[in-house]
Amino acid sequence: MSIPKIQRPGQVAPTSGQYAVVGPKGGNTGTEVTVVKGKPLPPTPKSGQTFVLVDKTKHKGGK
C-alpha cells in the first residue's frame, strides 16, 4: 500500500478526481472537492490543511 501524496492549496492537480481535505495532523475533515487535472487546488477552509486524492476520475478516453 502506498502513502497518499499530499497536495497543497494552489498546487496544480496532477490527476482529475475527488480530493479530501486533510487536517494538519493527517485527520480527515469530511470535506471533499472535485478538481480537474491541470487546474489549481482551491483554498482550504482553515490554515494548515492539505489535500489527498481519494477517488480518481474514471472515463473512457483513457487520457
Tens of pLDDT, residues 22-63? 999 989 999 999 999 999 999 999 999 999 999 999 877 655
Total structural domains within the chain: 1
CB atoms within 10 A of CB 42: 13
Residue 62's pLDDT is what? 57
CA distances from 59 to 1, 14, 41, 42, 50 (A): 24, 16, 21, 23, 26
Q: Could you tell me the residue range of the domain that residue 40 belongs to?
A: 6-56
Residue 1's pLDDT is what? 52
Domain annotation covers residue 62:
no
Residue 26's pLDDT is what? 87
Domain annotation covers residue 63:
no
Domain annotation covers residue 15:
yes
